[in-house]
Amino acid sequence: MIKRIFIFLMLALMAMIFFNLAASYTENSSLSKLGLYYAEKGPQELGAPNLVTAVVVTYRGLDTLGEVTVLFISAAGVGLLLRRTRRKRGDEIPTREALSSDDLERGDRAEETAGVHKPASEIVETATELLLPMVILFGIYVFINGHLSPGGGFQGGAIIASGTMFLLLALPESHISRLMIAITESLSGFSYVVIGVLGVIMAGGFLDNRIMELGNYGELFSAGAIPLIYTFVGLKVGFELSAVLDRFRKEDTGPV
């Protein structure tokens, strides 16, 4: 009971703080100094129409690298926590598919096919085949146009991961190659850092986007290295989130 009162008291105090905050709130009528600098100098300096992208990728590029690292560590943590413990089971019936796949994946496949999955209907299968490429294409569109329109690497990556989610929901037996995920993810992460170091050598500093021509303002191939960086970020985020989703699924399909 004392605990309840204590919680209630704490929430009431928090609510009081928040109420004062909201009561004395006045809407900004002009930009902050930093925002003003970005608004005035950003387009000329970096050639990126989307100022949020300019801030995320270039002005605060190091923070974004840290962010990608945090996401990587959390994906690795999920992978570590939900890693599969291989159990010996005598009653499993290996199918043709399981036998043809390589040794490393054999356990996974056999356990999955031994589960009680009802196969997806033809309508679901056809719709998945039709829609999945479109979802992934839309994700790629979003991260390639990150410097021109609302969007960017993280959003595009999330859309690609939603495509993976779609695949896993529609066809739970489908197999996602973990090796492909690992290779794409590490290559794009590595290229991201290489571009950052190139910025130190060829331009003004780490992750400076002016290592390439700024190009015509507002065109797809403009704003220096921003589309390139966002492509790598998008691929990395998309594959990392797909790996996380895959981990959560694998856990579920195994026998209890």
Partner 1 sequence: MNMIADIPISLIVLCSGLGLILTGLWGMLTQRNMIRIIVGFSLMDTGIHMVMVSIGYVTGGTAPIINDAVPMAEAASRIVDPVPSALVLTAIVIGLGVTAVMLSFAVRIYKARKTLMIDELTESKW
Under the criterion CB under 8 A, does residue 56 sit at the interface with partner 1? Answer: yes
**Token pair in block for residue 237:** 């985020």
Our CB check for partner 1 shows the closer of 73 and 182 to be 73
- Site size toward partner 1, by CB under 8 A: 56
Cα separation of 59 and 209, whole Å? Answer: 10
Q: What is the DSSP letter of 29?
A: S
Contact present, 171 and 112 (Cβ < 8 Å):
no
- Hey, what amino acid is at 47? G
CA 247, 175, 168 angle in degrees (round to 5)?
65
Q: Using the structure block, give the residue that is written with the tokens 């220096």.
A: 224
Contact pick of 237, 238, 239, 246 for partner 1 (by CB under 8 A): 237
**Which of 78, 120, 131, 170 is in the footprint of partner 1 by CB under 8 A?**
78
251 binds partner 1 (CB under 8 A): yes
Contact between 16 and partner 1 by CB under 8 A: the answer reads no
Q: Are 72 and 240 in contact (CB under 8 A)?
A: yes
Residues 148-167 that bind partner 1 (CB under 8 A): 148-150, 152, 154
Quick check: 182 binds partner 1 (CB under 8 A)? no
Give whole-number Cα distances, 195 to 59, 172, 233, in Å: 15, 38, 12
**Considering the rule CB under 8 A, would residue 35 count as an interface residue with partner 1?**
yes
**Which spans of this chain sit near partner 1 (rule: CB under 8 A)?**
4, 7, 10-11, 14-15, 18, 21-22, 25, 27-32, 34-36, 38-40, 42-43, 49-52, 54-56, 60, 63-64, 67, 70-71, 73-75, 77-78, 81-82, 148-150, 152, 154, 218, 237, 241, 244, 247-248, 251
